[in-house]
Amino acid sequence: MRCEQMRRILTCVILAGTFSAPVLAGDARLRAIQDDPQALRSAQAEGRKASFFCVNCHGGNGVSKLPEVPNLAGQNADYLLEQTRRFGRGQRKDEFMQGLIRVLKEEEKIQISLFYAGQNPRPGKPDSNKVARGKQIYNQFCLRCHGSTAHGNETIPRLASQHMEYLVLSVTRYRDKTGERQEAQMSSAVALLKNADIEAVAAYLHSLP
Ligand code: HEC
Ligand code: HEC
């Protein structure tokens, strides 16, 4: 099923359900669970259950089958949690994701973030010329924040193994300041890139484990 169809169907399901009021921050909670192996395992198991809604688009283990939908597998838990909150507050705009995220309780957002963070990413094998060119661009413009392995950290997203289409879409939006997301650092970091540069860097990132 295509993403647009899914969106329409699921939006109806959500509108028919109840909306829960957003609860404030649980970063300390996220950290406490990460520091306790047993609590982490049970939170990830709960997260897998709570993510049943997400599977159609993001895939059962966080590797999405739709190229414009981001992979969540192996992404940093803090980043995932922060993005779900931004959708919830309307700071990051995506009609469907904004509606969907409102039905999740704060604890479920934490569990889902921990679940996806613990899944295995799946790199691809794009055109090797593009990959080589993309590596140069990455080292020059991106490495200082996203890191030498492109795994990011608590505040910077992992980019390694991400889908090329999603990367191109996302970077182009930051460059052109289309308004879905607002991040001054990212917009200035990619301001000088041409479309072909963005495609090359996306190919390189998709190839990384
Ligand atoms: C109908 C398809 C669909 C479903 C179902 C869906 N998502 Fe998404 N999700 C998307 C799309 C498309 C994006 C990218 C939005 C954009 O371009 O900014 C996204 C983005 C995200 C992001 C940001 C990832 C990043 O790399 O920045 C997170 C986190 C996320 N979704 C979590 C979830 C969770 C949790 C669920 C289930 C509760 C879910 N999504 C269900 C389509 C979906
Ligand atoms: C100054 C630090 C910095 C530099 C340099 C930088 N980024 Fe980022 N990047 C960030 C931050 C912070 C975010 C999270 C922004 C947000 O929440 O919208 C981000 C987000 C992204 C995302 C969205 C990821 C997702 O899952 O949705 C992509 C794609 C991205 N960066 C690619 C790049 C590329 C490619 C380059 C180099 C051409 C680059 N970035 C350079 C800091 C940086």
Atom 30 of ligand 1, nearest CA residue:
84
Distance, CA of 98 to CA of 95 (rounded, Å): 5
Which among 51, 55, 58, 206 is the best mutation to test ligand 1's pocket, defined by most ligand atoms within 8 Å of the CB?
58
Which ligand 2 atom sits closest to the C-alpha of 198?
A: 35
Judge contact between 114 and 26, C-beta under 8 A.
no
| Mean per-residue pLDDT over the chain, rounded | 90
For residue 154, the CA-to-ligand 2 centroid distance in Å is 13
For residue 129, the CA-to-ligand 1 centroid distance in Å is 31
Judge contact between 47 and 113, C-beta under 8 A.
yes
Q: Does 169 have pLDDT greater than 60?
A: yes
Pocket of ligand 1 (CB under 6 A): 3, 6-7, 10, 51, 53-54, 56-58, 69-70, 72, 80, 83-84, 94, 96-97, 100, 104, 112, 157, 180
The CA angle 119-31-23, to the nearest 5 degrees, is: 95
Tens-place pLDDT, residues 65-115: 999 999 999 999 999 999 999 999 999 999 999 999 999 999 999 999 999
Task: Locate 94 and state its tokens.
Answer: 């995506």
Q: Does 36 have pLDDT greater than 90?
A: yes
What number of H helices and E strands is found in the chain?
12, 0
Distance, CA of 172 to CA of 164 (rounded, Å): 12
Regarding pTM above 0.75, the answer is yes
Give the pLDDT of residue 9: 55
The kind and range of the H/E element at 95 are: helix 95-101
CATH topology of domain 3-117: Cytochrome Bc1 Complex; Chain D, domain 2 (1.10.760)
What average pLDDT does this structure show over 16-28?
Answer: 49
Give the pLDDT of residue 6: 60
Three-state SS across 107-143? HHHHHHHHHHHCCCCCCCCCCHHHHHHHHHHHHHHCH
Tens-place pLDDT, residues 133-162: 999 999 999 999 999 999 999 889 999 999
What average pLDDT does this structure show over 201-209?
Answer: 98
Give the pLDDT of residue 27: 85
Domain with CATH 1.10.760.10 in the chain: 3-117, 128-207
Is domain 128-207 given the CATH code 1.10.1040.10 in the classification? no
The three-state secondary structure class of 126 is coil
**pLDDT category, 12, cuts 50, 70, 90?**
very low
Residue 70's region, left for phi above 0, alpha for psi from -120 to 50, else beta, is: beta
Distance, CA of 106 to CA of 8 (rounded, Å): 25
